[in-house]
Amino acid sequence: MSANDNCRIQMVVFDWAGTTVDYGSSAPGRVFDRVLTEAGIHLTKEEINRPMGMEKKAHIRQLLSCPSGNSQWLKAYGRSWTDEDVEALYQRFESILFQVVAEYSQPLPGVVETVNALRKQGLKIGSTTGYTSEIMTQVIPGAKKLGYEADCVVTPDVTGAGRPTPFMLFECMRRLEVYPPAAVVKVGDTVVDMLEGKNAGAWSIGILTGSNLLGLDAEEYDSMDPQELAKRKRKTTEIYYQAGADLVIDTMADLPAAIEMLNCRMARKEEAVK
């Protein structure tokens, strides 16, 4: 990499569900709801989505640790939950998700066109996810058939640590030979996506439409009152920035302009938010 290259973004690392595929991150949310309901635990969509983006066993721990999950478990079982309970729920979650996740591989609007445009500019395309490598064997082929493919995909079971740690992003950098972290931008739809980028020393961009953090499926999005939708987007934007996002964009179509904005900031010797 030349000194001049150091002043420009060289790689974009995307999340999957809620960012590049699966509008609203529906697959994991619905499976978490099903598994918890089977166990007698009933959480709201917001409660289930709050830890989204984490490695899934860690996500389950967060759900059982939240006030509602913890109190419901105590009432249902007369004791606190244990690691064995987490493991049992996790195995059930992975089993169901493996069966259905391929159905949620449709790229979000603008993803294919945007990724193609970025590649034409010479950018490399990395990917990190909260899914395991086994689950990704179901997701990757479906997305590829519909036009989206990353140059590398890194999962938590490969690095031994998921988000918000930076190790999956570092592995993308290693595999695609991109450095320093300032030449990388992480694009995602959750708080832990932003934290992953920040902890790696990279730039972080949050996306609104189709995101887990906005919390709307496509039908809800299209039918929502425009003023209420704008209000929700403002609130979601604030959450992204509180998590350390450098920029927030509405749709994937806005990403090339956002990256050019980061290139201009780098040329002025600005750094990513710490």
- CATH number of the domain where residue 79 is located: 1.10.150.240
Q: Which two tokens stand for residue 123?
A: 């950018």
Rounded Cα distance, 45 and 58, in Å: 18
The helix-helix angle for 83-100 and 133-145 (nearest 10°) equals 20
- Could you say which of 15, 22, 189, 246 is catalytic? 15
- Whether residue 116 is found in the same domain as residue 19: yes
Output the pLDDT for position 11: 98
Rounded Cα distance, 224 and 222, in Å: 6
- Could you say which of 22, 33, 45, 56 is catalytic? 56
Task: Give how many domains the chain has, as a whole number.
Answer: 2
- Whether residue 33 is found in the same domain as residue 126: no
Is 146 within 8 Å of 182 (Cβ atoms)?
A: no
- Whether residue 14 is found in the same domain as residue 69: no
- Would the CA dihedral through 250, 253, 255, 256 be positive or negative? negative
Within a domain: 272: no
pLDDT tens, position by position, 152-187: 999 999 999 999 999 999 999 999 999 999 999 999
Average pLDDT estimate for 63-80 = 97
- Would the CA dihedral through 227, 233, 239, 244 be positive or negative? negative
71: burial class by Cβ within 10 Å (0-12, 13-18, 19+)? Answer: exposed
Local confidence band at 272 (pLDDT 50, 70, 90 cut-offs): confident
Domain closes at, from 47, 76, 103 = 103
Domain limits for position 215? 5-25+105-267
8-state DSSP, 8:
S
Within a domain: 274: no
Domain closes at, from 103, 121, 154 = 103
Whether 56 is catalytic: yes
CATH classification of the domain holding 9: 3.40.50.1000
Within a domain: 230: yes
- Whether residue 98 is found in the same domain as residue 131: no
